[in-house]
Amino acid sequence: MECADIFSSIYPSIQVGVVQYGEKVVHEFKLSDYKSVEEVVKRARSINQRGGEETNTALGINTARSEAFKHGGRRGAKKVMIVITDGESHDSADLKQAIDDSEKDDITRYAIAVLGYYNRRGINPEAFLNEIKYIASDPDDKHFFNVTDESALKDIVDALGERIFSLEGTSKNGTAFGLQMSQAGFSAHNVEVSLPD
């Protein structure tokens, strides 16, 4: 769970909740469940991928947007959602509404495309990459990442962390904010970070 590692040395009072989605959405744990980085990382590492035949990305985004920040989230906190997925969504018809609602809720979205499935099968990932760029907040060069496979997620941790901490009112060493993060397990990951103003 490399995304949990981004925050492991940043701030002592981190709040994390995990939402995992694929065919269904499951709250693995809430923002208010753990009080230390060590507890969060330990719990996040114990999450197993739930199987399934579909990746319902819009459902995952909507559930995280409408529920996850309410489970221990702080009012007035900046909201950041990190969506990590390994395939095109099966509910793509609902993505526009999910993105529009996220915009209305002032949620900054980072999106990460994991290309392992496409690379292993020699499939052109263009449609997948376009969908993930659509999910990411603008501009894409600051909010969109892609990695060659699942093991390469660790390679983007530093860049992602720097971009999150470059948000107005934050500092890289974490002294200017408390941190909340919600991360989902893999088939599709959904991570949310909300940073107080």
Domain assignment of residue 119, given as a range: 2-196
Give the tens place of pLDDT for each residue, 83-111: 888 889 999 999 999 999 999 999 999 89
Q: Would you call 191 helix, strand, or coil by DSSP?
A: strand
Number of domains in the chain: 1
Amino acid at 106: D
Give the tens place of pLDDT for each residue, 13-49: 456 677 888 889 988 888 888 877 778 778 888 888 7
Report pTM. Answer: 0.76
Extract the tokens encoding 151: 């093991």
Question: 140-169 as b/e, with b when 16 or more CB fall inside 10 Å?
Answer: eeebbbbbeebeebeebbeebbebbbeeee
Q: What is the pLDDT of residue 164?
A: 67
Amino acid at 23: E
Place of tokens 């983007």: 156
CATH of the domain at 48: 3.40.50.410
Do 7 and 17 contact (CB within 8 A), yes or no?
Answer: no
CA–CA distance, 123 with 96 (Å, rounded to integer): 25
